[in-house]
């Protein structure tokens, strides 16, 4: 058994040695060399040059991490996670705010009560916990939503900015200033939220602007929401993230067609690589093949990605007949040629009481949800929480093939025993195991308290 790897004195790795790689024969071992945070070469491992470590030996020597026959794969990504609302059901400060009915309206009410108690210490404490647990799972990038409204003002946003700076060497935290409340409905017609979002849009370190058109009181105001937030994102040079069509009723038409028409009226192609990301979209589960084909044609060359949120969707989205649904991500990628990913959305709150900070838990859940158990399916599921997830939010990614020149962003998986060693992506998706080492831009970033075997 090896102890947890320790960072070399410089904090950077020059090589990860003796590892298995995705797509390579499980019997072969490889050395991945790193220069300036990127993959510089991949060479077959020469066992005659290996240093044998005893149980007390450091796993990192002179910038080389001994992979000890473990699987090295691209690092993971949260394409959609709410930083400010995490762990509300577990935190003693909010112990009185527990689920009774389990519906969306109750979740909004409980979260509203919790938000009235938010302060900087509270937001930073829970936010750090989410980020640390995510990094220990292999995450090196995330899109973190922080709410902006008349109640919290900029509390969540300022905490997010502090955490973004604090973790800049360990995780790329892409902040989304998020209007969960209506932009055009309510007592003041959304005026205060729009005023605050306008200010947030001027902040250089805010990367994304987001809103929830489905919370507006009618379709006219939903369309106004999309128009307003799309225009603001474009004018301020931000990515756009819309929580869209969060319902299942077949007799209610989805907004996605109108939303696409709206964004086509803006020059997104020339928006310096900024992307449009659409989350939830559960109504699309009612689409037939013709609908999916029409959707692909309607998107055209727009930089649109979808993010399915299975744990939240399956908990929240149910009809009277107990029909449930979440975006068919594997089919959308493989059959319809759409850009898509999956993400955890919430951790430990009334919107999603179950789950954890590990993106691979969602990929593993996807095997059953999408009946996706083949080698090809599991590789798509892994990509959906790795390079496809990063692409969906506009982050540079490392492919499953680990190409030379790509970022040295990796996760090194543990060994259960000689014969239960994770040798392939399929085995990782089936059962990832809890202990991993995380590497970002060639720098070991984890703080694992348990040994990696």
User: 86: which 2 tokens?
Assistant: 């995490």
Same domain, 20 and 159: no
Q: How do 436-440 and 443-444 pair as beta strands?
A: antiparallel
Q: Which of 161, 157, 156, 218 is nearest to 190 (CA)?
A: 218
Judgement on whether residues 200 and 265 belong to the same structural domain of the protein? yes
Half-sphere exposure for 389 (CA within 13 Å, toward CB): 32
Question: What string of H, E and C letters represents the secondary structure of 1-22?
Answer: CCCCCCCCCCCCCCEEEEEECC
* DSSP per position, 198-228: HHHHT-TT--EEEE-GGGSSSHHHHHHHHHH
CATH number, domain containing residue 415: 2.30.40.10
Say which residues have a Cβ less than 8 Å from residue 414's Cβ, sequence separation at least 6: 70, 422, 433, 434, 435, 436, 452, 453
Q: 273 burial class (0-12, 13-18, 19+ CB within 10 angstroms)?
A: exposed
| Other beta carbons less than 10 A from residue 162's beta carbon | 15
Instruction: Supply the range of the domain harboring residue 440.
Output: 15-75+398-444
Comparing CA positions, the residue from 389, 214, 239 lying closest to residue 306 is: 389
Residue 109 and residue 34 in one domain: no
pLDDT tens, residue by residue, 36-67 = 999 999 999 987 765 544 332 345 667 888 88
23 part of a folded domain: yes
| Residue 269, pLDDT score | 76
* 452 domain-assigned: no
pLDDT of residue 11: 62
Same domain for 223 and 118, yes or no, is yes
Across 202-224, b (16+ Cβ under 10 Å) vs e yields: ebeebbbbbbbbbbbeeeebbbb
Give me the torsion for CA of 445, 450, 452, 453, rounded to 10°: 180
The beta strand positions in 311-449, using DSSP E, are 340-342, 410-413, 436-440, 443-444
Question: Considering the domain boundaries, does residue 231 fall inside one?
Answer: yes
Residue 320 burial by CB count (10 A; 0-12/13-18/19+): exposed, middle or buried? exposed
Nearest to 224 by CA among 199, 189, 249: 189
Does 55 lie in the same domain as 202?
Answer: no
Does residue 7 belong to any structural domain of this protein? no
DSSP assignment of 246-297: ----TTS--SHHHHHHHHHTS--TTSTT--EEEEE-GGGGG--HHHHHHHHH
Note the pLDDT of residue 51: 54
Q: Are residues 196 and 68 in the same domain?
A: no
Structure confidence at residue 3 (pLDDT): 40
Report the distance separating Cα 240 and Cα 260, nearest Å. Answer: 12
If asked whether residues 269 and 350 sit together in one domain, one would say yes
pLDDT number for residue 343: 97
Residue 50: predicted pLDDT: 56
**Residue ranges in the chain whose pLDDT is less than 70:** 1-11, 49-61, 319-320, 322, 415-421, 434, 446-453
Total count of domains within the chain: 2
Residues 118, 169, single domain; the answer is: yes
Question: Does residue 205 share a domain with residue 170?
Answer: yes
What letter would DSSP give residue 65?
E
In a domain, 1, yes or no: no
In a domain, 105, yes or no: yes
For residue 87, being part of any structural domain is answered with: yes
Cα–Cα distance, 341 to 24 (Å, whole number): 24
Whether residues 162 and 205 share a domain: the answer is yes
User: From edge to edge, which strands make up the β-sheet containing 410-413?
Assistant: 72-74, 410-413, 436-440, 443-444
Decide: 158 and 120 in contact? Cβ < 8 Å.
Answer: yes
Query: Whose CA is closest to 440, among 395, 391, 380, 401?
Result: 395
Domain end among 355, 370, 392: 392
Model pLDDT, residue 52: 40
Cα 64 to chain centroid, rounded: 29
pLDDT reported for residue 337 = 96
Residues 106 and 70 in one domain: no
CATH code of the domain in which 355 resides: 3.20.20.140
Q: Which two tokens stand for residue 120?
A: 């900087």
Q: Is 4 among the domain residues?
A: no
Cα end-to-end distance, the chain, whole Å? 5
Note whether 71 and 199 are same-domain residues. Answer: no
């Amino acid at each position: 058994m090896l102890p947890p790897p320790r960072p070399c004195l410089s904090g950077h790795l020059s090589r990860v040695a003796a590892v298995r790689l995705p797509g390579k024969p499980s019997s072969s071992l490889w050395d991945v060399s790193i220069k300036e945070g990127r993959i510089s070469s991949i060479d077959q491992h020469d066992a005659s040059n290996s240093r044998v470590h005893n149980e007390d030996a450091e796993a990192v020597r002179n910038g080389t991490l001994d992979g000890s026959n473990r699987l090295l794969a691209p690092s993971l990504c949260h394409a959609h996670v709410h930083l400010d609302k995490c762990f509300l059901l577990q935190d003693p400060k909010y112990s009185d705010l527990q689920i009774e009915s389990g519906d969306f309206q109750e979740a909004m009410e409980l979260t509203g009560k919790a938000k009235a108690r938010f302060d900087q210490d509270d937001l930073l404490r829970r936010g750090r916990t989410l980020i640390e647990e995510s990094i220990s799972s292999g995450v090196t990038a995330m899109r973190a939503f922080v709410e902006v409204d008349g109640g919290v003002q900029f509390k969540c946003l300022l905490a997010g900015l502090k955490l973004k700076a604090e973790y800049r060497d360990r995780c790329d935290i892409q902040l989304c200033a998020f209007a969960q409340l209506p932009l055009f409905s309510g007592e003041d017609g959304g005026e205060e939220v729009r005023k605050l979002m306008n200010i947030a849009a001027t902040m250089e370190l805010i990367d994304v602007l987001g809103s929830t058109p489905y919370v507006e009181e009618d379709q006219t105001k939903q369309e106004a929401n999309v128009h307003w937030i799309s225009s603001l994102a474009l004018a301020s040079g931000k990515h756009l993230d819309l929580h869209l069509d969060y319902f299942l009723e077949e007799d209610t038409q989805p907004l996605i067609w109108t939303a696409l028409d709206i964004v086509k009226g803006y020059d997104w192609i020339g928006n310096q690589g900024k992307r449009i990301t659409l989350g939830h979209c559960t109504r699309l589960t009612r689409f037939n093949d013709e609908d999916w084909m029409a959707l692909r044609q309607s998107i055209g060359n727009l930089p649109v990605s979808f993010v399915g949120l299975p744990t939240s969707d399956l908990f929240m989205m149910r009809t009277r007949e107990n029909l449930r649904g979440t975006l068919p991500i594997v089919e959308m990628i493989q059959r319809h040629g759409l850009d898509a990913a999956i993400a955890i959305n919430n951790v430990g709150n009334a919107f999603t009481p179950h789950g954890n900070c590990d993106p691979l838990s969602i990929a593993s859940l996807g095997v059953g949800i999408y009946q996706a158990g083949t080698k090809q399916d599991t590789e798509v599921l892994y990509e959906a929480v790795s390079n496809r997830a990063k692409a969906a939010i506009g982050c540079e990614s490392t492919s499953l093939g680990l190409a030379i020149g790509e970022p040295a962003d990796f996760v090194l998986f543990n060994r259960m025993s000689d014969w239960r060693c994770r040798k392939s992506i399929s085995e990782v998706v089936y059962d990832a195991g809890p202990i991993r080492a995380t590497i970002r831009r060639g720098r070991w970033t984890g703080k694992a308290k348990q040994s990696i075997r």
